[in-house]
Amino acid sequence: MVKKQQLILIKGTREGLTLFIDDTCSFEEALAELRETLTSSQRQKDEPNVPVTVKLGNRYLHKEQLNKLENIIEEGNNFTLQSCDSNLITREEALTWLANDEIKSINRIVRSGQVLEVTGDLLLIGDVNPGGKVISTGNVYIMGKLNGIAHAGSDGDYQAIIVASYMKPSQLRIADYISRAPDYEPQGIYMECGYIDEKQDKIMIDRLQVLTQKRKSLSGFERRMLNG
């Protein structure tokens, strides 16, 4: 007798339950087994709600399919669907990810009253004059003087950094952290960077080389900058 392949695997964690759904079967087959599994282990109505995380593997669910899955999990079971994790993303999500991961290289001077805003990392070959402002959802690299305002991680990325050949900003911003200009006069010899120090809970300005200790996941581009 051939043993039927198990399509649903349930694991308990301290945070709740995790459901692993086989990604090689049809969605309807998975739903049928899930319904049967949950029915056979129905919980008492007075028991507290348990959060459920669903692991879909290489399967993507449309909104209608997600609604069906949620109804089966939550209907009369004291379960609450917390999240569905998939290895797959939509084309729109992929394009958004690509835009946020791309380095935008721009050669210009940002003058007083001007605002330069990009999605992803910004590589500015030029100066940011007093009264000028650059904004990026990712990191900001300035191959020139930063005398104006630089805002990195504008969508809330606390790991974002700001790098400049000459660091004398009127203001630095990373995510929702704000720092005024440094008290010392830059020597103009070493490139400097601004980053959020979690322990001190503020933006720090230091030599670019400290990023090898502060940010372990440096990209190849950042490492080439460090190495000259």
pLDDT of residue 206: 82
CA distance 160 to 219: 12
Among 38-42, 67-71, 85-89, 184-188, name the most confident range. Answer: 67-71
226 burial type by CB count under 10 A (0-12 exposed, 13-18 middle, 19+ buried): middle
User: What amino acid occupies position 51?
Assistant: P
Tokens of 37: 């599994």
Q: How many angstroms separate the Cα of 19 from the Cα of each of 28, 51, 79, 168, 198?
A: 16, 11, 12, 52, 34
Question: Residue 77 above 90 pLDDT?
Answer: no
> Distances from the Cα of 43 to the Cαs of 20, 51, 63, in angstroms?
20, 14, 27
pLDDT above 90 for 118: yes
Whole-number pLDDT of residue 194: 85
Q: Which has the closest alpha carbon to 205: 150, 128, 130, 157?
A: 150
Q: Which residues pair with 171 in a beta bridge?
A: 149, 180
d(CA 212, CA 221): 13
| Interval 201-215: pLDDT, tens | 998 888 777 776 766
Model pLDDT, residue 122 = 93
Q: How confident is the model at residue 1 (pLDDT cuts 50, 70, 90)?
A: very low
Return the higher-pLDDT residue of 222 and 89. 89
Q: What is the mean pLDDT of residues 89-116?
A: 83
User: Once rounded to an integer, what is the mean pLDDT over residues 55-64?
Assistant: 88
- With a cut of 80, say whether residue 173 has pLDDT above it: yes
CB 120 within 8 A of CB 136: yes
Evaluate if residue 107 carries a pLDDT over 90: yes
If pLDDT is split at 50, 70 and 90, which confidence band does 3 have? low
Exposure of 94 by Cβ count < 10 A (0-12 exposed, 13-18 middle, 19+ buried)?
Answer: exposed
The confidence band for 126, taking pLDDT boundaries of 50, 70 and 90, is: very high
